[in-house]
Amino acid sequence: MANISAQPMTAEVEGEFVVFLIGMRINQWWNVPAWLPAFLAMPRMLRELEAQPELGFLGSMGMLPVMVQYWRSFEHLEAYARSRDHAHLPAWQAFHQRVRKSGGAVGIWHETYRVTPGNYETLYAGVPALGLGKAGRLMPVVRGKQSARARMGQDAHTVVETDGGALL
């Protein structure tokens, strides 16, 4: 069983990092040849990324239709996306060929966010390491950091104490 902490935890990542949301929308479920290759490409890419930490991939959460990925930098993400030596570019090119032929049977989307130090907050209570807590480093929520505002590095106007639980 995964390690679950009874103590509220927060995540820490050194420096700037990137949150990359990626998803797939199947518009024609009956057109399996159009969408199945795109669906199967993601697990191959994830195995490649996890086996090569120097590519800058920190981890991911979820699967299609929506996945959250964490990257060391935008430059790492872009280098991987454009590399002819890795799985993404051939999969991307094949996807575009299939989409043109399929008449819109499947679509993909992504959103990319650069996150700077002090401009994010996390809370994990009674769950194993996941999301940014798995991609980064879990730390106990310490006194003075019980609220989301405090974890964001902003002064809390009013601190409300609970029975040991962290405030959101």
Q: Which residue has the higher pLDDT, 40 or 64?
A: 40
What digits encode the pLDDT tens for the residues 129-163?
899 999 999 999 888 777 888 888 765 554 445 55
Distance CA(119)–CA(163), nearest Å, equals 27
pTM for this one?
Answer: 0.84
- On whether the CB atoms of residues 149 and 156 are closer than 8 A, the answer is yes
pLDDT higher than 60, residue 164: no
pLDDT band at 14 (very low <50, low <70, confident <90, very high): very high
User: HSE on the CB side for 138, CA within 13 Å?
Assistant: 19
CA dist 55 and 66 (Å) reads 22
Q: What is the mean pLDDT of residues 111-136?
A: 92
pLDDT score of 59? 96
Q: Work out the pLDDT band at 71, boundaries 50, 70, 90.
A: very high
Whether 32 has a pLDDT exceeding 80, the answer reads: yes
pLDDT at 39: 86
Q: Which residues, in sequence order, are bridge partners of residue 66?
A: 23, 63
The pLDDT mean for the chain works out to: 87
